[in-house]
Amino acid sequence: MTVEEGLRSQVRNIEAKYGRSMDEWAQLIHATGKRRHGEIVAWLKSEHELPHGAANRIALVVLDSANEQPGQVAPRDQLYSGSKAALLPIHDRLMQAINRFGGDIELAPKKGYVSLRRRKQFAMIKPAARHVDLGLILPATPVTDRLESAATFNALFTHRVRVQSTSDVDAELEGWLRKAYDAAG
């Protein structure tokens, strides 16, 4: 499953669970006059008693649709454009593994990476020059040759794995991902 497919699935689940389409949520949000992400999330949580993940996704979808411009490139395609296009199969393989954990994963595309959250962030996927960096939050987990310290990579994470091919997404790596996912829920 690609990032876009995962996002579409998350939106369908939110619409089904909370009984409103994204267009209906957009109408409600626009009627409030709120235009900032944080304001919208707080309002959805307080007024509609939505959990953070659902409120965040609704806010992102509504704000993205308000800002859409013809010819705009999807976040996944932006991350893997040009010389990084060859890394896309690695990203897709990581997402396949992650999506098997459950439907409660929130994907938050950023300028240079994708953040993965449940109740809190547990991982990030970031294309590098010749590999994909996988940042993980795994407190009290020893560092190995493969499961490196993230100290020089990103202070939000405890560990980094340099994923150089789809075959690197093996049972060991999926185990680390699952451990980080479980700890974030």
What does the pLDDT look like over 108-122, one tens digit per residue?
Answer: 788 889 888 888 899
Lowest mean pLDDT among 29-38, 42-51, 70-79, 89-98: 70-79
The burial class, CB within 10 Å (0-12 / 13-18 / 19+), for 159 is buried
Whether pLDDT at 71 is above 50: no
Whether pLDDT at 49 is above 50: yes
Q: In the prediction, which pLDDT does 141 show?
A: 95
Whether pLDDT at 60 is above 90: no
Q: With pLDDT > 70 as the criterion, what percentage of the chain qualifies?
A: 92
Q: In the prediction, which pLDDT does 74 show?
A: 60
Phi, psi values for residue 171, rounded to 5°: -60, -40
How far is the first Cα of the chain from the last one, in angstroms, to the nearest whole number?
21
| Tokens describing residue 64 | 């993205």
Tell me the three-class secondary structure of the chain, residue by residue.
CCHHHHHHHHHHHHHHHHCCCHHHHHHHHHHHCCCCHHHHHHHHHHHHCCCHHHHHHHHHHHHHHHHCCCCCCCHHHHHCCHHHHHHHHHHHHHHHHHHCCCCCCEEEECCCCEEEECCCEEEEEEECCCCEEEEECCCCCCCCCCCEECCCCCCCCCEEEEECCHHHCCHHHHHHHHHHHHHCC
Whether pLDDT at 19 is above 80: yes
Q: Mean pLDDT across the stretch 123-137?
A: 96
Tell me what the pLDDT averaged over the chain comes to.
87
Q: How confident is the model at residue 64 (pLDDT cuts 50, 70, 90)?
A: confident
Q: Mean pLDDT across the stretch 5-33?
A: 86
